[in-house]
């Protein structure tokens, strides 16, 4: 198993948002996470990515316990093995499109940075805009850059929180097609938080978060 969560509990004050979540994700598997607003989808995604810690339960990533990992180790895992994509893109405005894609590789001091970034810019159809600033790009273009950046380090896991929530239908569909084909090509698993049944269709499995627990769909 790539990712195994058992009995995950998360509380904010006296309020229990996640009341015992079990989830297992296999390498390369795509899982959609659906559920009403405020049910805890982003909370769960943050836990899976080591951006926050559960109050109870166990969470292992490639056999390593994230609930017990030190902050520096969590940061390392996020740089090397976990790519994240957000609703509002979060590109770095002072870096060009190409530099945004290269950044994770620079942090890791990987060899062949130019070539890897160029290949991904090509794959997301943005090679001709590689020297553009984020402010010069449309939402759909920014999100395609964010997909390339999330994949740059060849992570084992991609986490996407409503990646099409801020895009028109056509741009959203283009981003979903890329997420699907590139996660497949790169062998990355994907956990996709979405409100959209269309978006969920790119996944192998759909799970619904309700009342603090995950339910499979028939
Ligand atoms: N840092 C926090 N402190 C207190 N409460 C929080 C915090 N983060 C989230 N919550 C609460 O936890 C609940 C779940 O939030 P979360 O953002 O995970 O929901 P969501 O399913 O992602 O919703 P949406 O679909 O609107 O994005 C919400 O009621 C929210 O107000
Ligand atoms: Mg959310």
Span 114-173, pLDDT tens digits: 999 999 999 999 999 999 999 999 999 999 999 999 999 999 999 999 999 999 999 999
Mean pLDDT of the chain, nearest integer: 96
When pLDDT is averaged across residues 196-212 and rounded to a whole number, the result is: 95
Cβ neighbours of residue 79 closer than 8 Å, sequence gap 6 or more: 104, 107, 108, 153
Joined together, the tokens standing for residue 16 give: 């229990």
Ligand 1 near 12 CB (within 6 A): yes
Which ligand sits nearest to residue 38's alpha carbon? Answer: 1
Share of the chain above pLDDT 70, in %: 99
Phi-psi region of 193 (alpha: psi -120 to 50; beta: other; left: phi over 0): beta
Is 137 a pocket residue for ligand 1 (Cβ < 6 Å)?
A: no
> How confident is the model at residue 41, as a pLDDT?
97
- Could you give the residue ranges of the DSSP H alpha helices within the chain? 41-48, 71-80, 97-107, 113-123, 139-151, 169-186, 197-200
Q: 194 alpha carbon to ligand 2 midpoint, in Å?
A: 9
Query: CA of 128: how far to CAs of 91, 131, 136, 149, 164, in Å?
Result: 18, 8, 13, 16, 23
- Indicate whether residue 47 lines ligand 1 (CB < 6 A): no
List CB-based neighbours of ion ligand 2 within 5 Å.
42
Residue nearest to atom 1 of ligand 1 (CA): 12
User: In ligand 1, which atom is closest to the CA atom of 40?
Assistant: 18
Provide the pLDDT for residue 217: 59
Q: What is the mean pLDDT of residues 90-100?
A: 98
Ligand number with the minimum distance to the CA of 160: 2
Compute, in angstroms, the gap from residue 109 CA to the centroid of ligand 1: 35
- The domains found in the chain, sorted by start residue, are 3-216 (3.40.50.300)
Position 218 pLDDT exceeds 50: no
Nearest residue (by CA) to ligand 1, atom 14, is 40
Q: What is the pLDDT of residue 67?
A: 86
């Amino acid at each position: 198993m790539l990712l195994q969560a058992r009995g995950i509990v998360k509380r904010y004050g006296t309020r229990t948002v996640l009341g015992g979540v079990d989830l297992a994700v296999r390498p390369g598997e795509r899982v959609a996470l659906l559920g009403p607003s405020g049910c805890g989808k982003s909370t769960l995604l943050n836990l899976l990515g080591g951006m926050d810690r559960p109050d109870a339960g166990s969470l292992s990533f490639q056999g390593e316990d994230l609930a017990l990992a030190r902050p520096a180790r969590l940061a390392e895992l996020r740089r090397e093995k976990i790519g994240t994509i957000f609703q509002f893109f979060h590109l770095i405005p002072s870096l060009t499109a190409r530099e945004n894609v290269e950044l994770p590789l620079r942090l890791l001091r990987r060899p062949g940075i130019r070539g890897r970034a160029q290949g991904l810019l090509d794959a997301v159809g943005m090679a001709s805009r590689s020297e553009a600033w984020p402010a010069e790009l449309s939402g759909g273009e920014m999100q395609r850059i964010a997909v390339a950046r999330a994949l740059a380090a060849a992570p084992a896991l991609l986490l996407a929180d409503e990646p099409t929530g801020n895009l028109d239908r056509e741009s959203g569909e283009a981003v979903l097609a890329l997420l699907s084909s590139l996660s497949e090509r790169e062998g990355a698993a994907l956990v996709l938080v979405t409100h959209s049944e269309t978006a969920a269709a790119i996944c192998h499995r759909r799970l619904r978060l309700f009342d603090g627990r995950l339910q499979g769909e028939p």
